[in-house]
Amino acid sequence: MAVEGGMKCVKYLVFIFNFLFWICGCALIGLGIYVLVQMHNPQLFKNASTSGAPIVIIAVGVIIFFISFFGCCGAAKENYCMVTTFAVLLVLIFLVEIAAAIAGYVYRNQLQNAFTDSITDGMSKYSTSNDTAKAIDDMQKDLHCCGATNYTDWTKYDPFKGKTQVPDSCCRKISLNCGVNPTNDTIYTVGCVQEIETVLKKNIGIVAGVALGIAFFEVLGIVFACCLMKGIRSGYEVM
């Protein structure tokens, strides 16, 4: 009877865990969307290195969202196969997240290069694409930055090539032709790559907190699932 009561407790814990796990999946989806929004315009950041990370986060969130189905149904029906599938998928997701974290740390410098390449590519198309020009202007207004590395980058691209002028979106107080003959007092001189890195560093605590919370629940889920698998396989009745 004591074992039966213990297994009943594990069964309920699996239900509770899967509800929390479902919330974690929603949190990951929200986090991925948040990162995409922080990166501003996806048309500007077309590089796979810059857009890939939030897309992977969203994809993992969707997978976690559906994996919780196996845990709930497996626990409710006391189905060994479904609980096993849930545990295996959970282990795989956990390993993928560890691999992604390691890869993100190893290739962190390449992300900076990817941002620089994306922004400079957009600057080169500033005079030929209205959509790209709007994306660049919106980014500079929102981040209070100018150019990729600094405001002098604009002297390399049309229509500012060879001129002492930058886009009006670089101005501290925007007005028509305020970018002509810029000074440190009238425009933002810091490059957008540096400002993007600053934004990401400010939010790294949120990302790390969510990631650690999800990892904790995943480990709990694996432990509970293994306990329930053992109980079902041993032939104990779980009510």
> What are the structural domains of the chain?
2-108+204-233 (no CATH), 112-193 (1.10.1450.10)
For residue 197, the model assigns a pLDDT of 83
Answer whether residue 145 shows pLDDT above 90.
yes
For residue 104, the model assigns a pLDDT of 67
User: pTM, whole model, 2 decimals?
Assistant: 0.56
Which of 82-96, 114-128, 174-188 shows the lowest mean pLDDT across its residues? 82-96
For residue 172, the model assigns a pLDDT of 93
User: Would you state the structure tokens that stand for residue 126, as one six-digit string?
Assistant: 């500033």
Q: How many CA atoms lie within 13 A of 26 on its CB side?
A: 6
Distances (CA, A) of 105 to 99, 110, 112, 169: 10, 10, 12, 33
Residue 224, judged by CB atoms within 10 A of its CB (0-12, 13-18, 19+), counts as: buried
Rounded mean pLDDT of 98-126?
A: 78
Answer whether residue 235 shows pLDDT above 70.
no
Using pLDDT thresholds of 50, 70 and 90, give the confidence band for residue 214. confident
Query: What 3-state DSSP class applies to 36?
Result: helix
Q: Which of 84, 96, 145 is nearest to 119 (CA)?
A: 145
For residue 154, the model assigns a pLDDT of 93
Distance, CA of 196 to CA of 142 (rounded, Å): 11
